[in-house]
Amino acid sequence: MITVKEVKQPGELKAFVKFPFKLYKDSPYWVPPLIKEEIATFDKTKNPSLENADVWLFLAYKEGKIAGRIAAIINHIEVEEQQKKKIRFGWFDVVDDIEVTKALLAKVAEIGKEKELKYLEGPVGFTHMDKAGMLVKGFDKLSNMSTIYNYTYYPEHFRKLGFSEGAAWVEFLIGIPDTVPEKIGKFSDIILKRYNLRLLQFKSSAELVEYADDMFDLMNRSFKDLQSFIPIQKPQIEQYKKKYLKFIHPDFVKFIVDENGKMVAFSITMPSFSRALQKAKGKLFPFGFFHILQAQKKSTSATLYLIGVDPKYQNKGVTAIIFNETNKIFRKRGMRYVESNPELEENMAVQLLWKHYEEHKKHKRRVTWVKPLDMI
Tell me the per-residue pLDDT of 188-207, one tens digit each, with 9 for 90 and over.
889 999 999 999 988 887 88
User: CATH number for the 2-166 domain, one of 3.40.630.30, 1.20.1250.20, 3.40.1190.10, 3.30.930.10?
Assistant: 3.40.630.30
Query: What pLDDT score does 111 carry?
Result: 98
Torsion of CA 371, 166, 172, 317, to 10 degrees: -160
List, by residue range, all CATH 3.40.630.30 domains of the chain: 2-166, 174-367
The residue type found at 296 is: Q
**Long-range CB contact pairs, 72-76, < 8 A, 24+:** 72/107, 72/108, 72/111, 72/112, 73/124, 73/125, 73/126, 74/111, 74/112, 74/115, 74/117, 75/126, 75/127, 75/230, 76/52
User: How many Cβ atoms are within 10 Å of 159's Cβ, its own excluded?
Assistant: 12
Buried residues in 291-321 as b, exposed as e (16+ CB within 10 A)? bbeebbeebebbbbbbbbbbeebbebbbbbb
Residues 6+ apart with CB under 8 A from 160: 98
Whether the per-residue pLDDT at 22 is higher than 70: the answer is yes
Nearest CA among 245, 243, 297 for reference residue 266: 245
**Long-range CB contact pairs, 276-280, < 8 A, 24+:** 277/31, 277/32, 277/33, 277/34, 277/145, 278/31, 278/32, 280/32, 280/34
Q: What is the spatial distance between Cα 183 and Cα 181, in angstroms, rounded to a whole number?
A: 6
Average pLDDT estimate for 54-81: 96
Nearest CA among 357, 303, 363, 362 for reference residue 176: 357
Average pLDDT, the chain: 90
Average pLDDT estimate for 54-76: 97
Q: What is the spatial distance between Cα 70 and Cα 267, in angstroms, rounded to a whole number?
A: 32
Residues 6+ apart with CB under 8 A from 273: 144, 145, 292, 295, 296, 299
pTM for the full predicted model: 0.91
Nearest CA among 87, 22, 28 for reference residue 59: 22
For residue 138, name the pLDDT band (cuts at 50, 70, 90). very high
Whether the per-residue pLDDT at 126 is higher than 80: the answer is yes
Superfamily of domain 174-367: Gcn5-related N-acetyltransferase (GNAT) (3.40.630.30)
| Cα R_g (the chain), whole angstroms | 21
Query: What pLDDT score does 228 carry?
Result: 65
The separation between CA 109 and the C-alpha centre of its own chain, rounded to angstroms, equals 24
Q: What is the spatial distance between Cα 61 and Cα 316, in angstroms, rounded to a whole number?
A: 53
Peptide bond into 181 cis (omega under 30): no
119-122/86-94 β-pairing: parallel
Query: What pLDDT score does 18 carry?
Result: 98
Question: Lowest-confidence range among 125-134, 136-145, 364-373?
Answer: 125-134
For residue 180, name the pLDDT band (cuts at 50, 70, 90). confident
For residue 304, name the pLDDT band (cuts at 50, 70, 90). confident
Question: What percentage of the chain carries pLDDT values higher than 90?
Answer: 59
Query: What pLDDT score does 298 carry?
Result: 86
Query: What pLDDT score does 247 carry?
Result: 65
Query: What pLDDT score does 221 carry?
Result: 86
